[in-house]
Amino acid sequence: MQKIALAISLLLLTSVVFAAAQLPVPSYYKDLSYQKGIPYQPKFYGGFAFGYGDLHYAKSDFVGNVTAAGKVTGIGSVGADGYAARIYGGYAYNRYLGAEVGYTFFRRTELSRITASGAPGVSVRSQFAQQVLDLVAKLTLPIGQRFGLFVRGGAAWVHRDIIGGTRGTTTIKLASRVNYIRPTLGLGADYYITPNLFAAASWMRVFGTSSLEDSDFVGLGFGYQVNLM
């Protein structure tokens, strides 16, 4: 189900980008500075995206773990996907190269009916948050006067809360609070509605480790840029 939802989101992203490319060019884009030979003015920009996130956790990531309450023997369900959002800001040195910092919020992951060998007849529930702060370079390929394809790449700081739950006097702790620095990669497209206001569709992945699954974010949103001069 998670893979189907991600595929649908990517299809939607592609459809929006294709539709935007077919729209007519307004007359005021005839006077863009780069067409007149005027040097590009660096810009600050910021924006947001709302969409779908998947942290890819599964029962197999936790069943068999040894805890203070014994070995984890079962988990009823894992809900690791759902709504997500990203806010970002950056500096565009020219039409092709920029740097960006972003923060991605994922819906809390839920684990139900966690049982352990040392606590027979007892099950607990866990909810934990995972958040991402990224610093990336952004390479853009302009296409026409309003449209551009881009690649983001860099590093991400991943924070994950304690995974576990308590019921009565029984606590089952599956994992401690952790912080990781991991590589991240993204793809997307910008479409300029006006010379400063743009819509963006994008996908980003943070690559995990043996104890941290990959995370995916697919989103649509808007941004605004400001000339420095």
Q: How do the pLDDT tens digits run along the chain, 229 residues long?
A: 545 554 555 555 555 545 544 555 444 344 454 454 556 678 999 999 999 999 999 988 888 877 888 888 889 889 999 999 999 999 999 889 999 999 999 999 999 998 888 888 788 888 899 999 999 999 999 998 889 999 999 999 999 998 888 888 778 888 889 999 999 999 999 999 998 999 999 999 999 998 899 999 999 999 999 987 6
E strands, 170-214, where? 170-175, 178-192, 197-206
Which of 48, 64, 185 is closest to 115 using CA atoms? 64
Q: Which fold has domain 2-227?
A: Porin (2.40.160)
197 neighbors 222 (Cβ within 8 angstroms): yes
At residue 7, the pLDDT reads: 52
pLDDT at residue number 14? 53
Kindly state the tokens that stand for 218. Answer: 């697919």
Angle at 23 between CA 18 and CA 24, to 5 degrees: 150
Tokens 């007149």, residue located: 36
pLDDT at 61: 87
pLDDT of residue 3: 52
Q: Are 127 and 109 in contact (CB under 8 A)?
A: yes
Q: Which two tokens stand for residue 159?
A: 């924070």
DSSP H helices, 48-141, are: none
Residue carrying the six token digits 């490319």: 21
Is 210 exposed, middle or buried, given 0-12, 13-18 or 19+ CB atoms closer than 10 A?
exposed
Average pLDDT across the chain, whole number: 84
Q: Domain coordinates of the chain in residue numbers?
A: 2-227
What's the pLDDT at 133?
A: 97
Distance CA 31, CA 34 (A): 9
